[in-house]
Copies of this chain bind each other. A is one copy, B any other.
Amino acid sequence: MKFNIALLAGDGIGPEVIDQAVKVSDAVATKFGHAITWKPALTGAAAIDAVGEPYPDATHDVCAAADAVLFGAIGHPRFDNDPSAKVRPEQGLLKMRKKLGLFANVRPTFTFPSLLDKSPLKQERIEGTDLVFLRELTGGIYFGEKGRRDDGETAYDNCVYTRVEVQRLAKKGFELAMTRSKKLCCVDKANVLETSRLWRETVQAMEKDYPEVEVSYEFVDAVAMRLVQWPNSYDVLITENLFGDILTDEASVISGSMGLMPSASMGSDIALFEPIHGSYPQATGLNIANPMATVLSAAMMFETAFNLPEEGKAIRNAVNKALAEGIVTEDLADGGKAYGTKEVGDWLAANI
């Protein structure tokens, strides 16, 4: 098969980790007889510097025409403590999600047995954890009207959801639950928010279409607790944009494998794949960043966007082998030998 893949390296360590994912994907393509054409495009602070905005139209055109998007990381510290900055890298991310219609962010949290001791949680709490969040990504308070009134003394952000938005996200959740343990948890704040009540009633009305799925409803504050206490009690969780932002990040650190967690953002036409870690500016250019999350995002891309599970499996096997043999960057080296970002990428490509 032939694929056009938009390549958005972004900021910080983005370019370095993306390079490794490209190398590994190319090795997969060679092995399985596919042809990948990579279409690099600018995003993030890099795009602001080059053309004045973080998600230029040219980049959008590349993404919209591609079969999938592979994304590195964006964000730069020079924007972080400046609430008045007019253009920020994150705006590019939000604009991209909206314009590409990436409404479902898929964020798995699972454990690698060899990394369990990296978890801040006790082993018996984290063992066996294998959950997936589906976070709504193009609605809610992120995209509602926001602004100031009273000469800037009052600020507001509107959170808005329509039933259709909830349904399309929940549908993905039910479908995913059917392929796993048939347990679905809807996370909301229905005791306070009207949008949450819409979420809850919409999901409740869909239950009859998936009689095998056992659905539970939990408040976001309760989930924030239980994720730390008994993460392995969850399977598929669906939630709105802001709750998802907070909870998926919380979930990402419990396993000890954060540097390895991939993610997907899916729309009706196209999907984007990216590591969940950030742009890690301090590590930029040092050849120390762990490329595995980006490489595993490429695995998700083969599996989900191209429906090629064997190709994905080849990547996952190489990563598992690297972990077993200690071919890892310094974050996982544990006093042993630390390999560079590039060396880990080379090894993975050679072991496809």
Contact = CB atoms under 8 A, between A and B. Distances in A.
Which size class do A's interface residues fall under? 35 or more
Given A144-B156, A160-B154, A193-B141, A225 B252 contact: yes
A212 interface: no
B192 A142 contact: yes
A83 interface: yes
A196 to B, nearest CB: 8
A221 B249 CA distance: 6
Given A156-B195, A192-B94, A222-B249, A229 B162 contact: no
Nearest to A75: B191
A29 interface: no
B253 A198 contact: no
Interface string A187-204: 001111111011011001
A228 B246 contact: no
Contact of A83 (B201, B243, B245): B201
Nearest to A161: B155
Contact of A224 (B155, B156, B224): B224
A337 interface: no
Contacts of A243: 246
Interface stretch (A43-51, A120-128, A300-308): A120-128
Contacts of A189: 242, 245
Interface string A206-224: 0000000000010011101
A194 B146 contact: yes
Given A153-B162, A159-B157, A147 B194 contact: yes
Q: Oligomeric state, in number of copies?
A: 2
Contacts of A37: none
A316 interface: no
Interface string A64-88: 0000000000000001110110001
A192 to B, nearest CB: 6
Contact of A253 (B80, B161, B217, B229): B229
A195 to B, nearest CB: 5
B121 A217 contact: no
Nearest to A164: B153
A34 interface: no
A168 interface: no
Given A81-B217, A200-B83, A153 B163 contact: yes
A252 B90 CA distance: 31
A231 to B, nearest CB: 9
Nearest to A204: B83
Contact of A120 (B160, B229, B250): B229
Nearest to A160: B156
A346 to B, nearest CB: 31
Given A122-B121, A147-B194, A155-B160, A247 B224 contact: yes
Contacts of A2: none
9 contacts: A122-B122, A144-B156, A155-B160, A156-B159, A157-B159, A224-B250, A225-B250, A225-B253, A228-B254
